[in-house]
Structure 1
């Protein structure tokens, strides 16, 4: 068996319906859209969830419960291993320095440093939240953590 011998299984491929190619094709004239009406026009049709003017299901059902996504603080996540790659020995890590190093992109309330990866450089982390495992690794490498109040 070679690449030039490969063929799809019988019945797996269908010819493409070519619409509007003469009346004898079976799909000429109106191209299978019927006569007149909203769905026969180009660009015609209704939006998803539209029920012909009837009150839609998502508006008929009661809204219950609380969802925190609108109110929660956006917190960026940075791992200790990525700090090791981007910062020099003895550097101070702040929200601004993380943005300059392109580890944090977008608008966030604060940054949390997590303990994934290894740290070999002495860093000072200021004004960021730090997980217990990350704090342990930073202090083990000779650095210090000054958490945001």
Structure 2
């Protein structure tokens, strides 16, 4: 086998339609565009969503509310989860890599620690945000909070 002898498999390559090459080709004359009208002319392009003058879908469907483009979404982790992780692993520093390793967050998430549950172990918690109750409970248990 040589490079110059390579060719595609049988039926793998189709030849393109040659439009406007005489009536004998079967695609001469109007070149499959039909007769007259805007669609038969060169340069024709329809606006996306145009439905022939009928009220288009994006105007028929009601819309309400708004999406705040500045919204920051956090992945919430509660103190009871931190307590169980700290007990099972014996770790005292709970940071983003630790949460990621235990499947609580993915690399694009931001972490917020919330105050549900108890914490009776002194741990150092690294996260993007903390609720007030979580902050007070962590510090009361002798732990430390570090904002990323």
- Give the TM-score band, short-chain normalised: 0.5 to 0.7
Distance 1:100 1:93 in 2: 11
Unaligned runs of 5+ in 1: 1-51
Q: Are the structure 2 counterparts of residues 59 and 127 from structure 1 closer, same or farther at C-alpha, using a change threshold of 3 Å? A: same
Distance 1:62 1:144 in 2: 49
Unaligned runs of 5+ in 2: 1-50
Give the TM-score normalised by the residue count of structure 1. 0.53
Distance 1:133 1:91 in 2: 20
| Runs of 4+ with deviation above 3 angstroms | 60-66
Instruction: Give the CA RMSD over aligned residues.
Output: 2.9
Do 2:80 and 2:116's aligned partners in 1 also have CA atoms closer than 8 Å? yes
**Which 10-residue stretch deviates more, 53-62 or 122-131?**
53-62
Give the TM-score normalised by the residue count of structure 2. 0.53
Measured after TM superposition, the shift of residue 65 of structure 1 is: 6.6
Distance 2:117 2:131 in 1: 13
Distance 2:64 2:84 in 1: 46
Q: Are the structure 2 counterparts of residues 66 and 89 from structure 1 closer, same or farther at C-alpha, using a change threshold of 3 Å? A: same
Superposition map of 1:17-56 within 5 A: 54-56=54-56
Measured after TM superposition, the shift of residue 71 of structure 1 is: 4.1
Task: Count matched residues.
Answer: 96
Distance 1:65 1:99 in 2: 34
Do 2:112 and 2:127's aligned partners in 1 also have CA atoms closer than 8 Å? no
Superposition map of 1:61-100 within 5 A: 66-68=66-68, 70-87=69-86, 88-89=89-90, 91-100=92-101
Measured after TM superposition, the shift of residue 107 of structure 1 is: 2.5
Distance 2:72 2:123 in 1: 26
Do 1:89 and 1:123's aligned partners in 2 also have CA atoms closer than 8 Å? no
Distance 1:73 1:122 in 2: 29
Measured after TM superposition, the shift of residue 59 of structure 1 is: 2.1
Do 1:94 and 1:128's aligned partners in 2 also have CA atoms closer than 8 Å? no
Measured after TM superposition, the shift of residue 101 of structure 1 is: 1.7
